[in-house]
Amino acid sequence: MGEILELPYDNTSGFSGSDSSEKRAREQDKNGTTKNNQLMVLEFLIVKKEYGATWKEIADRFDWHHGTASSVLSNLHFGDHVSRLQETRNGCKVYVLSKYVQDKKTEVHGGKKSKIQKCWNCGVDV
């Protein structure tokens, strides 16, 4: 699992469109922060098994803001490392490692390469 690093948005982890957001994403992708964050989420989801976690639960666990948690989940989902279930918990979509999907219904990745206006997990403005 240590070799996973998803950079699906023009070889970056993605950014909101501002210069500062792009600079931060490129720096984190280069310095290992992105990879570390992705590994932390995967390890967290191993523990959570079929219960999974929402972006909010991940943000609370790692003291991240919404954008960081959603970005990590989106990139891992894009790379088929995690699955987004159709079910929600507290208004947020649930993510699980793909091996824990069982018979639950999942959703395809719906992210865009352009600026995202609302979180695809829960509809929060970002």
Tell me if residue 116 falls in helix, strand or coil. Answer: coil
pLDDT for 114: 35
Lowest mean pLDDT segment, chosen from 18-27, 65-74, 89-98: 18-27
pLDDT for 21: 79
Percent of the chain at pLDDT exceeding 70: 77
Count CA within 13 A, CB hemisphere, residue 38: 24
pLDDT, tens digit, 9 for 90 and up, residues 25-58: 788 888 888 889 999 999 999 999 999 999 999 9
pTM: 0.77
pLDDT for 124: 58
Percent of the chain at pLDDT exceeding 90: 42
pLDDT for 9: 63
Burial of 11 (0-12, 13-18, 19+ CB in 10 A): exposed
Residue 11's pLDDT band, with cuts at 50, 70 and 90, is low
* Token pair recorded at residue 125: 């403005």
User: Which DSSP category does 8 fall into?
Assistant: T
- Does domain 19-107 bear CATH number 3.30.1600.10? no
pLDDT at 113 over 80: no
Instruction: Give, in order, the Cα–Cα distances in Å from 94 to each of 17, 52, 53.
Output: 26, 6, 5
